Amino acid sequence: MKKELLIRRSILAWFRKNKRDLPWRKTGDPYAVWLSEIMLQQTRVETVIPYYNRFLKAYPTVHHLAGANEDHVLKLWEGLGYYRRALNLHQTAKIVAKDYEGVFPGTVDELQALPGIGRYTAGAIASIAFGVRAPVLDGNVKRVLSRLYAVKERIDRSDVLKRLWQIAGELVSPRSPGNFNQGIMELGARICLPQNPLCGGCPVKQCCEAFLHHCPQNFPVQKAKKTLPHYEVVAAAIYKRGRFLLGKRPPGGMLGGLWEFPGGKVEAGETHEQALKREIMEEMGIGIEIGEHVLTVDHGYSHYTVSIHLYRCSHIDGRPRALYHSEIKWTPKSQFNRYSFPAANIKFFEHL
């Protein structure tokens, strides 16, 4: 039997017996499949499950989501990370509700034209929800294929990616594309692990060049990762008459749409006090007096790490304006739970 056909059948058979009972596998609703795929981007299955369930309960259909308030959507996304996904999700819901009358398109090209849906996600939705024979190539599939075919070149090379998409397209089952795609991803997530793969339980080990050469750990070949820069950041808990001055971060950038205590990076040669007064003047046009240091939180973002030093502050002069944020608001602590905050800010709450 041809290698590709053997791989296809073996993975389908393995998946049929070993697939996890995940909430998005109980439905064929394209809306639910789409939601799960967006949430699963760069995010672990176990992390997504509770978010997915809460989200679907709050917005059972694309129409509910299309009519939702953005702060509410971001609140349901709070803690999931990559918040632009939530904003794109909201945008796509509006487009589907309006331009498609609430019915998701079923082709890869139409799906990929929607905000937040790239080649992987379009293939996943088309194959899983619509039975289209479209391949997927995520981190799992890249790893599985790079081992099956002993790909010795770096997998971030465009020519290598092109070849992997080509292979994935040949492997995907014409009759059960959704099951095959989920199967090869599940194989990568549970058997063909990045470190110490469980080759003994692998249904395709006899087809796997890396296994046959006893070197699965050599694949995939990744590019070297650079160490993340670290910054010192100051933030202000500006308090007046029972309320804190919060800002909503502008869309498009880091943590876009989330609320925060204002502040910013400490520049070279600055004291914390100097940096905080400068930042608050730049961002809100007001003068402040710096009070006690509340606490310092160490936090890692996607491409840098920070130590955020929070200070209690009082408003001295000027009327606050949203010079940086899209919106600012004096907010009592009792209402913080209505807004979505970055994880690092949430660590502040119990100390205020």
Site for DNA in 232-271 (CB under 7 A): 253-256
Q: Considering beta carbons, is residue 194 or 242 the nearer one to DNA?
A: 194
Mark 204-239 as b/e (b = at least 16 C-beta within 10 Å): bbebbebbeeeebeebbeeeeeeeeeeeebbbbbbb
Window of 210-218, 231-239, 296-304, 327-335 that interacts with DNA by CB under 7 A = 296-304
Window of 150-158, 202-210, 275-283, 318-326 that interacts with DNA by CB under 7 A = 150-158
Say whether residue 122 binds DNA (CB under 7 A).
yes
Chosen residue from 108, 124, 134, 238 binding DNA by CB under 7 A: 124
Number of residues that bind DNA (CB under 7 A): 57
Say whether residue 296 binds DNA (CB under 7 A).
no
Site for DNA in 35-94 (CB under 7 A): 36-37, 40-47, 79-84, 88
The answer to whether the beta carbons of residues 348 and 261 sit under 8 Å apart is yes
| β-sheet bridge partners, residue 237 | 312
What is the separation of C-alpha 293 from the centre of its chain, rounded to a whole number of angstroms?
32
Say whether residue 201 binds DNA (CB under 7 A).
no
Q: Which of 47, 66, 180, 189 is nearest to 126 (CA)?
A: 180
Mark 159-173 as b/e (b = at least 16 C-beta within 10 Å): ebeebbbebbeebbb
Three-state DSSP class for residue 116? coil
CA separation, residue 290 to residues 11, 75, 286, 322 (Å): 62, 30, 13, 20
Is 37 tagged catalytic? Answer: yes
Instruction: Give the number of C-alpha atoms closer than 13 A to the C-alpha of residue 94, restricted to the C-beta side.
Output: 12
Chosen residue from 157, 175, 293, 338 binding DNA by CB under 7 A: 157
Chosen residue from 30, 105, 116, 247 binding DNA by CB under 7 A: 116
Say whether residue 300 binds DNA (CB under 7 A).
yes
For residues 181 and 15, give the distance between their C-alpha atoms in angstroms, rounded to a whole number: 10
Window of 62-70, 169-177, 187-195, 327-335 that interacts with DNA by CB under 7 A = 187-195
Minimum gap (Å) between residue 307 Cβ and DNA: 12
Chosen residue from 188, 216, 263, 320 binding DNA by CB under 7 A: 188
* Contacts of 223 by beta carbon, 8 Å cutoff, 6+ apart: 154, 156
DSSP annotation of 228 reads P
Chosen residue from 4, 6, 12, 22 binding DNA by CB under 7 A: 22
- CB atoms < 10 A from the CB of 317, how many? 9
Window of 203-211, 276-284, 309-317, 339-347 that interacts with DNA by CB under 7 A = 339-347
Q: Catalytic residues, which ones? A: 37
Q: Which residues bind DNA (CB under 7 A)?
A: 22, 36-37, 40-47, 79-84, 88, 112, 115-122, 124, 138-140, 143, 156-158, 182, 185-186, 188-189, 194-195, 222, 225, 227, 253-256, 299-303, 342-344
